[in-house]
Structure 1
């Protein structure tokens, strides 16, 4: 048995945050496909695992099959097991938490909805989608300013805050993001991609049950 099982599917940026963390840490883990597109997350069987009916779900077999949901909490838990991605002092601790909250509320909270409406619902030009795109652009500008003159978001080293914020940004075309407009973000994404064990979403998360 592996140390971790991650319930996920390829198109989920939130699942990629957890998968990327496991991958970068060199963890012993395996993906478990969730057929989200066809509603498997709403099934009684899946809700028995996660009553929120969402992906990702991490099962930590090293702690008696401890089951965790929500990408931010999963990253926080994994940082205890892999402290090279954790904060090293109270100041960094606060900054890591601050930027994970920013990601969940501002970055992922807008980008993921715009991407879903555009790519999966073919409603990218709708007023709702354009509203979320505006919020996404504002969040990207904030992150780009933050990375001006620094390599990482919350500390002198890569932390779970970086991994969280990067989760949806490796599909820029799907979200109408031109990284040439955000040069500090582009260089930061390259730094993450240069870390040992890095892998893109399609290389570590299943697109179907057969993968």
Structure 2
């Protein structure tokens, strides 16, 4: 039996953040497919047995369950001694970027991807708003990465894995990716890490609706 069990599905960028950690850290883990689009997370039994918040990822380890990707990444860094901070200041910076990710970088982009790239809504006032906000967040990250190879240090940390959740997803969002040269180089640096795999290769489930 694997040490870690991750409830996830291939199209979930938030799940990928955790799956990528487990892969790069060479952990012994098993993915458990969650039929999110089939409504599994809305079922009362699933919420009682897996996560009352009705979301993935959910990590199981040593009899405990953890949800919310940032918390899981923090737990894994502490439990394994990998991709974590080396001092208090780094810890603060990691959390600063993970909070920015959850509020801005991932949140706008992930919703835009779902509507425009997966549901194929076409351009609407909502997708236009989301794209504008996503571009603003991408510009902040791109400018920061102009100065450093990774977000917090000269090495990758869980801050990088958090922001990497959706950047390898292939769906068209209308985002001008060619403008973000430093993000592109950062993505290449993460992709070059031993153990990296694309989200659709790393987690189970369909890759389109």
Q: Trace 1:98-113 onto structure 2 (pairs within 5 A).
A: 98-113=96-111
Unaligned runs of 5+ in 2: none
Which residue of the partner structure matches residue 90 of structure 1? 88
Does the CA-based 8 Å contact 2:117-2:171 persist in structure 1? no
How far residue 172 of structure 1 moved from its aligned partner, in angstroms, is 5.2
Deviations 1:162-198 (A, max 9, x none): 0000110002543233432111000000000111111
Q: TM-score, normalised by structure 2?
A: 0.94
Alpha-carbon distance between aligned partners in 2 of 1:74 and 1:66, rounded to the nearest angstrom: 12
DSSP-derived class of the 2:31 partner:
strand
The farther-off stretch of 199-208 and 139-148 is: 199-208
Instruction: Find the partner of 2:67 among 58, 65, 69.
Output: 69
DSSP-derived class of the 1:133 partner:
helix
**Aligned residue pairs, count:** 205
DSSP-derived class of the 1:132 partner:
helix
Q: Trace 1:152-167 onto structure 2 (pairs within 5 A).
A: 152-167=150-165
2:186 is equivalent to residue 188 of structure 1: yes
2:8 is equivalent to residue 25 of structure 1: no
Deviations 1:80-117 (A, max 9, x none): 12323001011111100000000000011101111111
Alpha-carbon distance between aligned partners in 1 of 2:160 and 2:94, rounded to the nearest angstrom: 8
Q: TM-score, normalised by structure 1?
A: 0.93
Q: Which runs of 4+ in 1 moved over 4 A?
A: none
2:47 is equivalent to residue 54 of structure 1: no
Which residue of the partner structure matches residue 197 of structure 2? 199
Alpha-carbon distance between aligned partners in 2 of 1:173 and 1:141, rounded to the nearest angstrom: 20
Which residue of the partner structure matches residue 9 of structure 2? 9
Does the CA-based 8 Å contact 1:172-1:179 persist in structure 2? no
Does the CA-based 8 Å contact 1:172-1:178 persist in structure 2? no
Alpha-carbon distance between aligned partners in 2 of 1:110 and 1:17, rounded to the nearest angstrom: 16
Alpha-carbon distance between aligned partners in 1 of 2:81 and 2:102, rounded to the nearest angstrom: 22
Which residue of the partner structure matches residue 45 of structure 2? 45
RMSD across aligned positions (CA)? 1.2
Alpha-carbon distance between aligned partners in 1 of 2:73 and 2:7, rounded to the nearest angstrom: 14
